[in-house]
A and B are shown apart, each in its own frame.
Chain A
């Protein structure tokens, strides 16, 4: 399976001033990926929110954008593109209204169809303050014998989300992300990098380096694997390092299984001990 992750610098986001321009940019990257025979591509977290922002130019705050959140138009645009380009697309994340609730969500689109949907399960402080709702489950989708899960932004800091995906058999996790506050590499390592190491799946993370009104975001795009199978023994298969706008790599599941055989984390789970976890028993 060949996977790709997109990263656009802040000035590139600044140049996108209309929804059409964003769709055109997505199209441009799909073309590049298809040329490289990529099977699956992940766009940055909040790309859909950025589209929503461009669609409501009169709104002046994140709160007002999310209150008018309608992800359908953005998803329809990507669905249209996916009919043209034979590639599985995670279009980044977006805000999605469902009755009176607003969720931070993402999906996987293949050949004009949404094949997998995911809502963010845990909220960052700023998301709680804006009154977002939480997703309650995580599901996997099988594509070409690969089990795929979506883990969105804040959820990379909640190991219970990755663990349940891993134990459901996830081979690859797609992760559109974007972080607020001061740029800090250590924070990103404490997220998906370490989830990959403690669950030994592949992950394709795509970072948003744009802005939503007054709020600025950062995040590097990285493709991770268990340490033992990466060239630098560092868990990075490919990373943008802020220099590349499209990173592509081949994911070798046989190699991953060999790496797991060397250090099989999940084989030593102590299920009896975990019954001590009161919080997760819903008490």
Chain B
């Protein structure tokens, strides 16, 4: 069977399993107690929540909705105005593939065993090596999962009266796939969708494409941008975010590596320090098809405006498992910090003139 046929078959199967009718029907059964978010959120007192969660392959879309609902419900109880989900927030839906459960167990077990053997530590997991197969799956699931996720989060945002960032999913446009995430408002309205701009080697191998544009979204309490994971390895992303007026960075991650504090420190935390923005990080962890993801959710701010002078407002206690972390952010305080910054916020127009051409060899 050709890749195109397999892709079409997968798409058909997922359309059936994640139909919008099933989602709407189940959603009505949930009888969520509606909440209306205040029209004027005080920019000096914005409560935000970041999800850290473990991958749990599901055998129905209803179980997936239950899982998402659990986090949103908790964030609403905590009076949050915004909740953000992690990168690759759809991996659980691979559980809908017939036979995946068994295959997943075998691949994960094999990968766990290999992890401890020095000679195999550097090798890639079975699925990670099989790039074409994974690309076919991702292309097949892309459309139904995108439609399903948008429907679910639109309904949740509206009913709970909260801003929700969906986490990232695979977006297919004219046979090209991207890693993208969407932001929904409390009316259930789609505010915007941002595609990833810097890819990992693995994403390049499986055929994901990057984009070269970042958009800023104006919310009643501040301006946000939504880059994804690897985008935070590059200071340029955050420099551009500042230039287009952002106050808050939403950053979903799912790191395909073993966790270490030092590895984690290469991402959003130093970027927040350089750029004087709030940084909200959501994270996916756990095993799927022999691949191990890790990472802590965290809420970061410039050193100066955190109690411990460490740049951390809230950080998950562990890099595994499910956690919802919450903190209050204050845009006025952020602006004041920019004014008072000792070591940042200087400008050197002479040095910066033609910096792009001088640095990146762009004419």
Q: Which residues of A contact B (CB under 8 A)?
A: 121-126, 128, 134-137, 154, 157-160, 163-164, 167, 179-182, 184, 186-187, 189-190, 193-194, 197-198, 227, 233-235, 264-265, 268-282
Pair B346/A128 contact, Cβ less than 8 Å: yes
Task: Name A168's closest neighbour in chain B (CB-CB).
Answer: B359
Pair B343/A157 contact, Cβ less than 8 Å: yes
Once bound together, how far apart are the Cα atoms of A142 and B104, in whole Å?
Answer: 52
Please indicate the chain B residues that have their CB under 8 angstroms from the CB of A194 in the complex: 265-266, 270
Say which residue of B262, B310, B356 sits within 8 Å of A277 (CB atoms): B356
Say which residue of B211, B239, B269 sits within 8 Å of A279 (CB atoms): B239
Pair A227/B309 contact, Cβ less than 8 Å: no
Q: Does B260 contact A (CB under 8 A)?
A: yes
Please indicate the chain B residues that have their CB under 8 angstroms from the CB of A125 in the complex: 340-343
Pair B346/A122 contact, Cβ less than 8 Å: yes
Please indicate the chain B residues that have their CB under 8 angstroms from the CB of A184 in the complex: 303, 309
Once bound together, how far apart are the Cα atoms of A148 and B159, in whole Å?
Answer: 59
Which residues of chain B (193-226) have a CB below 8 Å from chain A? 197-201, 204, 210-214
List 19 other contacts, CB 8 Å, given A158-B344, A274-B362, A282-B349: A122-B348, A125-B341, A125-B343, A159-B274, A160-B359, A187-B303, A190-B270, A194-B270, A198-B234, A233-B263, A268-B204, A270-B234, A273-B211, A275-B212, A275-B362, A276-B243, A276-B244, A279-B352, A282-B354
Say which residue of B204, B210, B359 sits within 8 Å of A163 (CB atoms): B359
Once bound together, how far apart are the Cα atoms of A265 and B230, in whole Å?
Answer: 10
Contact sample, A vs B, 10 pairs, CB 8 Å cutoff? A121-B348, A121-B351, A123-B346, A126-B342, A136-B351, A154-B346, A157-B273, A198-B266, A276-B213, A279-B347
Q: Does B358 contact A (CB under 8 A)?
A: yes
Q: Does B236 contact A (CB under 8 A)?
A: yes
B306 to chain A, nearest CB (A): 9
Once bound together, how far apart are the Cα atoms of A121 and B211, in whole Å?
Answer: 32
Please indicate the chain B residues that have their CB under 8 angstroms from the CB of A124 in the complex: 342-343, 346
Instruction: Kindly list the 8 A-B residue pairs having the minimum CB-CB distance in the complex, ordered from nearest.
Output: A282-B353, A159-B235, A280-B355, A194-B270, A190-B273, A273-B212, A272-B212, A136-B350
Please indicate the chain A residues that have their CB under 8 angstroms from the CB of B273 in the complex: 157, 190
Once bound together, how far apart are the Cα atoms of A163 and B347, in whole Å?
Answer: 16
Known contacts A268-B198, A268-B199, A190 near B303 by CB under 8 Å:
yes
Known contacts A184-B303, A270-B198, A277-B240, A167 near B262 by CB under 8 Å:
no
Once bound together, how far apart are the Cα atoms of A282 and B204, in whole Å?
Answer: 33
Q: Does B279 contact A (CB under 8 A)?
A: no
Once bound together, how far apart are the Cα atoms of A273 and B198, in whole Å?
Answer: 10
